[in-house]
Chains A and B, each alone.
Chain A
Amino acid sequence: QVQLVQSGGEVKKPGASVKVSCKASGYTFTSYGINWVRQAPGQGLEWVGWISGYNGNTNYAQKFQGRVTMTTDTSTRTAYMELRSLRSDDTAMYYCARDLDPYSGSLEYWGQGTLVTVSS
């Protein structure tokens, strides 16, 4: 079965960077992309960006361009999201999610989430 397992929670100071991992299993990693979605406490869902598991192509939400970098390691079937210049409003649960299929525009499989707390 498809599983996405994320790294543990992080506490960072303003201005720092954080790198969250998402290890995939149960499917051919290079056949699907991984999306990152965040949710601030008590707030809604916000798409951060996408990375291809095939060739590493990326598509970032305009809001995060210049501050986010997504990468993959196909040898370990792991996707990473690094967010730099952290601010207090970056405090959120960060989820990785895999497409249902490359064309449906929907996210069927989700990781358990990684809580990133930004506080001085």
Chain B
Amino acid sequence: QSALTQPASVSGSPGQSITISCTGISSDVGNLVSWYQQHPGKAPKLMIYEGSARPSGVSNRFSGSKSGNTASLTISGLQAEDEADYYCCSYVRGPYVFGTGTKVTVL
């Protein structure tokens, strides 16, 4: 399966909310969509799993949703530390398929 499609970049001012879309998700995926944050030179970090659940320790400013073949990650109350690359990911009985990645810039 081809990579999922994300916008190359999204930006916002501190305190604002931004949303990153992820399109091309197979109907077979169900809610098995996850989101990862990656700072330069670091390993990815799981931010959202099963579409909308947050792992322990992840801020509630991060939320996920899915509608049809599109998943979304919303970051509310944008902070400087949120500046990073973000990847969506779908899982269908084995293969993980990642999105193209979105660079989030805090203005």
B34 touches A (CB below 8 Å): yes
Once bound together, how far apart are the Cα atoms of A107 and B32, in whole Å?
A: 11
Contacts of B33 in A (CB 8 A): 105
> For B34, what are the chain A residues with a Cβ–Cβ distance below 8 Å?
104-107
Give the residue of B3, B50, B100, B101 whose beta carbon is less than 8 angstroms from that of A104: B50
Q: How many A-B residue pairs have CB under 8 A?
A: 67
Q: Are B94 and A44 in contact (CB under 8 A)?
A: no
A110 within 8 A of B: yes
Contact A44 B44 (CB under 8 A): no
Query: A106–B51 Cα gap in the complex (Å)?
Result: 10
A35 to B3, CA, bound (A): 18
Contact across chains for B100 and A108 when beta carbons are under 8 A apart: no
Number of residues in A with C-beta < 8 Å to the partner? 21
Pick the interface stretch among A11-19, A45-53, A67-75, A77-85: A45-53
Closest B residue to A35 using CB positions: B96
- Interface pairs (18), CB distance under 8 Å: A35-B96, A37-B96, A44-B3, A45-B36, A45-B89, A45-B98, A97-B44, A104-B32, A105-B32, A105-B89, A105-B96, A106-B34, A106-B50, A106-B89, A107-B44, A107-B89, A108-B46, A110-B44
Interface residues of A in 78-120 (CB under 8 A from B): 95, 97, 100, 104-108, 110-113
Q: Which residues of B contact A113 (CB under 8 A)?
A: 43
What's the Cα separation between A113 and B49 when bound, in Å? 22
Given the complex of chains A and B, what is the CA–CA distance between A94 and B95 in angstroms?
A: 17
Q: B96 contacts A44, CB within 8 Å?
A: no
A108 touches B32 (CB 8 A): no
Could you tell me if A104 and B49 are in contact, using CB atoms closer than 8 angstroms? Answer: yes
CB of A59 closer than 8 Å to a CB of B: yes
